[in-house]
Amino acid sequence: MQREEEKYLKPPLDASPLLQVPSDIFLEIFSWLSPRQSLALRGISREFAVVLDSSAFAATSLSRWRTHVWRNRDPTRLHFRNYNEAWDILFFFPPVTSFPSVYAELVLKGCREIDLSPPRDPPGFHDERYLDAPLSTHVARLVHLKVLNLSCCGLKGELPGGLFRLTGLEMLRLHANGLTGAISPDVANMVGLVVLDLSINAFCGELPASIARMSRLQELDVCENELTGVVPKEVKEMGLVLLGVEGNQFDKQCD
């Protein structure tokens, strides 16, 4: 997938006449475009990009398209079948705009279930168009979320600290991504978790002993990572229904 900044490299055009249009009219006109279409116009000029990146434009655009796209959908559930509508993944990128934060507040704040894990070979699915992005820091705004399944979504980078503030989350599946870094001891703050699946990533460092404080946890899967040290005794003694730790580098030092 192209680097984020390369997506918008286009020959410069003279956008000054458009920028002289009163801001409320400008927002009204361009909000008729889908969010993805409007973001494609960022390359016209730097000034144009500033307007399209603003929270005011994001709110105007998403308010219009929320009604249009979500009219026959349960606002508490976001599933992969909605992917081809394209705007659902604006929560994850591009980070250079205000769309992720406004989308979280305006559209996803009441969401209880997000499952964007693709089925096998879904019709019309193109890998190069999928996430290929870090998990948004704005995930912390989704305080009503119970289920978050972003397995096989092309996520990369480290988990944002705000994720661990979702104390009401019951299921977190991030299987088969490109996530890196250490598993923070703060994961234990997610006291509502029943299922935690971080398998097939590139997490490094030790498995936090703090996980033993997660009294509701029944399934923990960290298979196929790059974890080192030992599996904490406290975690082994939790009596979990599933404890997957194979395919790591336990009893070795982390590079």
Give the 3-state secondary structure percentages of the chain, helix then strand then coil, rounded to 5: 40, 15, 50
Q: pTM for this one? A: 0.80
Q: Which residue has the higher pLDDT, 28 or 177?
A: 177
Tell me the pLDDT tens digit for each residue of 73-127: 676 777 765 444 444 555 665 556 787 888 888 778 888 998 888 766 444 444 4
Q: Which residue has the higher pLDDT, 167 or 14?
A: 167
Radius of gyration of the chain (CA): 20
- Distances in Å between the Cα of 128 and the Cα atoms of 1, 2, 109, 133, 153 are 5, 9, 28, 12, 11
Q: Which residue has the higher pLDDT, 64 or 17?
A: 64
Looking at residue 165, what is its pLDDT?
95
Mean pLDDT (the chain) is 80
Nearest to 98 by CA among 43, 143, 57, 157: 57
Looking at residue 80, what is its pLDDT?
60
Tell me the pLDDT tens digit for each residue of 147-186: 999 888 888 999 999 999 999 999 999 999 999 999 999 9
98-127 b/e with 16+ CB inside 10 Å = b? bbbbbbbbebbeebbbbbbbbeeeeeeeee
Question: 83-92, 136-145, 172-181, 245-254: which range is least confident on average?
Answer: 83-92
Percentage of the chain surpassing pLDDT 90?
A: 41
